[in-house]
Structure 1
């Protein structure tokens, strides 16, 4: 049981981390919080991490029943969520190099940045549709057998903790990462991260469309 539990944790953790990609999103997080101090950014990173933890826990345990209750398919989740990610990334990709308020020397209210802790910093940038779909898929075969349910539940909780620890570490230290890269390197990293995020959003949408159209194509009568 122990080896199986460790295997489930490693499989789930690597799958979610690859989808979330916190090292790339850290530059997006830094761009959205450039008006904050190091302490305020760390506080916001902690808030985003806590939000992400509860989102993952909810998705792991009640994600599938909630989708069924509202009549939402995984395909619709991928298409709608992918669109939200792609639009956000497109806006970042086409944003001016310097923000007006920062260039004008106007103070930016930290509360305004803090209000974005859940949307869009937690959803859809951190725990977006790809993350939700992956988390649901990880527990799609969860049975009602007590031993397997307990093992799956433990794995889900540990995976969530590990993921949000990585998210907090990378987000809270995004300024330090940018410092090592320098101003020009950070600008390039931000643009590349925004482009990759755009590609991720488009890929999520394409996956949703392909999953939606596949049954229709399979049921199409041969000519």
Structure 2
């Protein structure tokens, strides 16, 4: 178990693309308008704990129900593929009810640590060392915290078009990651 900066950088970029905190700025701003205040610290800490817990016990949960990590990774690649399509094409394939408050539940889960993030964590675990993924989670939680704290300033700086451009760039990266994840894990299912 050694720190590998390349794995940390790659895992961090993958999680950043999946969490899509920059693309979520319009949702965060809407939450702030509805609730008046966003609990940035609490949401970030809870999301980080959820991701780290799932990283360590997610595999055992899968084993309990009889699913191997490679099958989960292939299924996860489909989720990442559709998330990427949403980001690139600006469409919504999955629509959740709008949250009524800006508490931990809509922010930490499902906005930050949602199904796509959890799937990605187990998929990453199939390819990378756990310690590198934990460091990537911590890096992303710090980024999430900073974005939550300064979402108004970021929106003003990037503008609506800037946010859309960033979202599309990370959508293309996520699409490439989904294809790589699929090809890396599909072969082991037929061996």
TM-score, normalised via structure 1 length? 0.60
Any idea what the Cα deviations from partners look like across 1:140-164, whole Å, max 9, x if unmatched? xxxxxxxxxxxx7xx9877754542
Match of 2:153 in 1: 176
Structure 2 unaligned runs (5+)? 92-96
Q: How many residues align structurally? A: 183
Match of 1:53 among 41, 48, 69: 48
- Poorly superposed stretches of 4+, deviation over 6 Å: 155-159
1:1-223 correspondence to structure 2 within 5 Å: 7-8=2-3, 13-21=8-16, 25-37=20-32, 43=38, 45-46=40-41, 48-95=43-90, 111=100, 116-117=106-107, 118-125=109-116, 127-135=117-125, 137-139=128-130, 160-213=137-190, 215=191
Structure 1 unaligned runs (5+)? 97-107, 140-151, 216-223
Any idea what the Cα deviations from partners look like across 1:84-139, whole Å, max 9, x if unmatched? 2222332343337xxxxxxxxxxx965177654312531234x3423233346524
Segment drifting more, 37-46 vs 57-66:
37-46
Cα distance in 2 for partners of 1:44, 1:175 equals: 14
Any idea what the Cα deviations from partners look like across 1:55-88, whole Å, max 9, x if unmatched? 3332343333222222211111112122222223
TM-score, normalised via structure 2 length? 0.68
Cα distance in 1 for partners of 2:183, 2:50 equals: 24
Alignment partner of 2:20: what SS?
helix
CA gap 1:11/1:90 in 2 versus in 1, 3 angstroms: closer
RMSD: 3.9
CA gap 1:189/1:165 in 2 versus in 1, 3 angstroms: closer
Q: Rg: which structure is higher?
A: 1
